[in-house]
Structure formats: C-alpha cells, structure tokens
C-alpha cells in the first residue's frame, strides 16, 4: 500500500499521535491557566485533540523568551552562513516529515490530501529553503556622498516579530512569515489560527531539531480575541505580520497605535476580478483557469478569482466550458487521493457561504450552478462549486469576500467598462485578463489597481515575486526579497573622513 490509496491515509490518520501543547523557549508546555480548545476534523466530523489555549500570560512568556533570545544574540548576531545552514536543515527536515505535515493539514482543514502533499507542504519547504539561500545574497549600500564622508546603509533585524496566520493554508502562510523573519535574524512568536494549529505546533520541534536556538521560534495557539490581541498590544513586540480578514487587519492597526507603534504588515481580504475578453487566446484554457481560480481549496483563498467579468459576446460558450471544468471539483473525502475538493473549514463557515448564495439570489442574481447539493448528502462541511450570473456590481456577491466556492459572473462591453468594474472594489489583491492583444495586456495591467496582475493565466507565480495588495487588501509584501524589508530596520552610519 502507498500514499496513492485512501486506505493508506486512513490508517495513518488513525495511528497519528498529535502534539497539542504550546511551544515556548524550546519546550512544549501546557497553557499556564490550563485551558484547552477542541480542534476538529471537518470531514470526519470528529474531535482530533484538545489543544492548549494560550492566553495573555502565555503570550507574555513567549515574547519574553523571544526577547531574551534576540538580546542573547546566538541567532540575531549569528553569521549569515550559520543562519543559512540552520534554515536549510529545517527545510530538509520538513521534507522528511512531509507526509505527517500534509496529513495534519488535511485533517485540520478538510482540504484534499493530494493538495496538501503536492502544494501546501512543498510550498512551505520551498519558502524556507528560498530564504535560507537568500540570507547571504543581500548586501548593504554605500551612499554617494562627498569625499570627506562615508555613509553606510545597513539592514538590521527589527527584534521580536509577532506572526498571526489564518486557517486556509496554515503551514505555507506561516512559512511566508517565518522565512524572511528568521532569515533576517529576528525572534518570532507565531499564533496559528485556533481552527488549524497542528502543523505549526509540529513545525516547532523540527526547528529546534534543525538547530534554531531556544526562544527564537515560539508557537502560541489560541483565539484571536485573546492570544492574538495580547500579541498585537504587547509593548515588547517590534513588528506584527498578519494574513487574514480585512476586519481583523484594521483592528490590529488600532492595537499598534494603542501600544508601541509596532510595525504592522497586513495581507487581508480580496475580491479579485478575472477578465475574459472576446479575443481570449483559448476559451477552454481560460475556463479551466477560472474554475481552478475560484474552486481550488474550496474557494478559501484570499486571491481567489471570485468575480468573473466576461465580454458579453462570448458569455454563453464561456459559461458552458466553465461548467465542464467545475465538474472536476466535485467534493470528496479529503483522505481520498483522487479528491480535488474537500470540505469547508467548519459547518459554521459552510452556513455563512450558503447564506451568501441565498442573499445573492434574493438580490437578483441567477443560479447557473448550485453546489449546495452534492453527492455527499447532508454533511455539514461540504459545499461544491457554485456559479451565479447576472451579478450587478452593487450586489453583496460582487462586493463582499465570501471565502467559499462561489463565483459571481458579470458581463461587460469594451475595455473601459471592464476596468471600471474591476477597480470598483474596496480590495486590490489580484486581477487577471485574457486577451491576444499585447498592447491591451500592457495597457490594462497598468490600469488595474491590484498587487498582482495575471495575463493569460490565473494566480501563477513563485517565491521570486512579491505577494500582497492595494487598498483594503493590505500593505507590505510576502515572498521575494521584498519581504525582507518588513522585518528589518534601515540604519545609516555616517563617518566623517576629516
């Protein structure tokens, strides 16, 4: 039996021993106040474990450990070569434990094991290895001053970084924060979502095994209003990095202002437009990309192509192609390696998504494909691909982030209307356009107000390019060398040469 069979994963799931404690100063610990919270398997509809619930007391312990480690200097002052070696070792250990990490991710979130194993965990590993390799490739600067002075410009680690990450790609997005934060010499206190903390807890022991000094990485699972708030308000946290909803992102800015003006870097919500022109080079390929762009990971993707803007003259053939490709995302058991779609994160979220569909119908949208009924019956976690047409840009469907497999389709005529519709949003994370016209591609890419614009693809990219958004999609950038800027301070040293 191998990992291509459902029974293999079911047996591994039954035998899995789950670590469920906090990780502070190099050790697993129960919560100081003894609290726990349940972590469930949304597909199996069972409790996986009771995880230690961090409160403000635990966050304070973790921040203190992080500060002591930073001031001690065995990581913050370590040579670039030493930090590089340690993070590269961590990436190798993650590879060796990839199946366990993938299984934890699938059990925790309900995403298909094929995606955890193929995308999430390899993506997290690539991120850590990429930043390990980047450490000794980044240089300081010498300013062009007069001959009587020498001005050196250097980047120094900011200190203690608080990282708050969401439940949709738990380990991969954690590594998007950990990679650059650790590479630049900082200490980190990581708060994973209470809905998906297991892979981060497991990663902590691998980091210590790789040689990361005690206190450099601490993991404090808990609730946002408790552990997350304590981290955001803490006066000894120098920078806060966050991926999640725009509503929470705004609150974190307030907390920073109420405390020590810590740097706050936010990757928040999205409502990205995928624009299909009549001169689209390949309607079938565009439809396949559009389906994956909204239905992958059950639509729980910040940069999902949730708004499809299709030129009116090709709406019908495009929708028919889209329906065919949506069929590839029929919900199935996440532990079945043939499943391309699993469950939503929990039954409450599934109900919110179903409510958004109903609200769209009440506001006048037309149901083209209904994912509320599917082969798995009344299971509370499943909701399949759903497509609504005749969506007006004023409808909630076009304006609010649903975070589920729900596509809102709007028609347009001509470039100007397409741009107007695409940019008429509070968000600006991503956008895509499909056209054979090279001039149009360049012209519209410049006009679209989004952090990433994809031409004749949807959401391609790798570690070499920055990820983040305009407007209420946040600030700062994850990935690429640009992420290093978020976790460093610029220092000028001016030397007179009299």
> Which of 194, 267, 311, 415 is the catalytic position?
267
Cβ-defined contacts of 130-134 (< 8 Å, 24+)? 130/179, 130/463, 131/87, 131/179, 131/180, 131/182, 131/183, 132/83, 132/84, 132/85, 132/86, 132/87, 132/88, 132/90, 132/91, 132/183, 133/84, 133/88, 134/183, 134/481, 134/484
Nearest alpha carbon to residue 486 among 131, 158, 138, 136: 158
Residues 6+ away with beta carbon under 8 Å from 129: 87, 88, 91
Q: Tell me how many degrees the CA angle 211-69-71 measures, rounded to the nearest 5.
A: 135
Please tell me whether residue 269 adopts helix, strand or coil conformation.
coil
Helices assigned H by DSSP within 327-459 = 347-362, 396-399, 415-423, 438-447
Query: Side-chain half-sphere of 95: how many Cα atoms within 13 Å?
Result: 11
Query: Cβ distance 188 to 8 under 8 Å?
Result: no
Cβ atoms within 10 Å, residue 4: 10
Backbone angles phi, psi at 57, to 5 degrees: -65, -45
Question: Is 267 tagged catalytic?
Answer: yes
Q: How far apart are the first and last CA of the chain?
A: 76
Q: Which residues pair with 51 in a beta bridge?
A: 37
Contact assessment for residue 222 and residue 165, using Cβ atoms and an 8 Å cutoff? no
Using DSSP, state whether 313 is helix, strand or coil.
Answer: helix
Contact assessment for residue 83 and residue 185, using Cβ atoms and an 8 Å cutoff:
yes
Active site residues: 267
């Amino acid at each position: 039996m191998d990992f291509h069979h459902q029974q293999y994963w079911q047996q591994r799931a039954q035998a899995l021993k789950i670590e469920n404690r906090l990780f502070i100063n190099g050790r697993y610990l129960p919560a100081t106040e003894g609290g726990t919270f349940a972590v469930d398997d949304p597909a199996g509809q069972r409790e996986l474990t009771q995880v230690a619930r961090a409160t403000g007391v635990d966050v304070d312990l973790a921040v203190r450990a992080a500060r002591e480690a930073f001031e001690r200097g065995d990581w913050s002052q370590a040579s670039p070569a030493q930090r590089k070696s340690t993070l590269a070792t961590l990436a190798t250990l993650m590879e060796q434990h990839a199946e366990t990490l993938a299984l934890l991710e699938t059990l925790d979130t309900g995403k298909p094991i094929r995606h955890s194993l193929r995308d999430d965990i390899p993506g997290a590993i690539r991120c850590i290895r990429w930043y390990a390799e980047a450490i000794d490739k980044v240089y300081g600067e010498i300013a062009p001053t007069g001959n009587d002075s020498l001005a050196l410009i250097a980047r120094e680690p900011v200190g203690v970084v608080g990282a708050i990450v969401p439940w949709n790609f738990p380990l991969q997005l954690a590594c998007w924060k950990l990679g650059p934060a650790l590479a630049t010499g900082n200490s980190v206190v990581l708060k994973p979502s209470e809905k998906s903390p297991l892979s981060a807890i497991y990663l902590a022991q691998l980091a210590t095994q790789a040689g990361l000094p005690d206190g450099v990485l601490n993991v404090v699972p808990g609730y946002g209003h408790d552990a997350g708030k304590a981290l955001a308000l803490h006066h000894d946290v120098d920078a806060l990095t966050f991926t999640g909803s725009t509503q929470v992102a705004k609150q974190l800015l307030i907390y920073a202002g109420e405390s020590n003006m810590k740097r706050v870097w936010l990757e928040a919500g999205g409502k990205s437009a995928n624009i299909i022109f009549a001169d689209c080079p390949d309607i079938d390929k565009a439809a396949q990309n559009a389906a994956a762009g909204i239905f992958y990971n059950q639509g729980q993707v910040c940069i999902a192509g949730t708004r499809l803007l299709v030129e009116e003259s090709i709406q019908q053939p495009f929708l028919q192609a889209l329906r065919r490709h949506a069929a590839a995302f029929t919900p199935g058991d996440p532990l079945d390696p043939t499943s391309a779609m699993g469950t939503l994160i929990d039954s409450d979220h599934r109900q919110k998504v179903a409510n958004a569909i109903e609200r769209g119908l009440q506001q006048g949208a037309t149901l083209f494909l209904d994912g509320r009924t599917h082969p798995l019956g009344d299971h509370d976690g499943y909701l399949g691909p759903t497509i609504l047409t005749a969506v007006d840009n004023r409808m909630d469907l076009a304006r609010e982030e649903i975070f589920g497999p729900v596509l809102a389709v709007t028609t347009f005529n001509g470039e100007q209307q397409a741009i107007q519709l695409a940019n008429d949003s509070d968000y600006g994370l991503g956008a895509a356009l499909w056209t054979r016209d090279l001039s149009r591609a360049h012209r519209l890419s410049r006009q679209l107000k989004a952090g990433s614009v994809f031409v004749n693809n949807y959401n391609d990219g790798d570690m070499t390019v920055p990820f983040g958004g305009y407007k209420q999609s946040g600030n700062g950038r994850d990935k690429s060398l640009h992420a290093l800027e978020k976790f460093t301070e610029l220092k000028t040293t001016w030397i007179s040469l009299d």
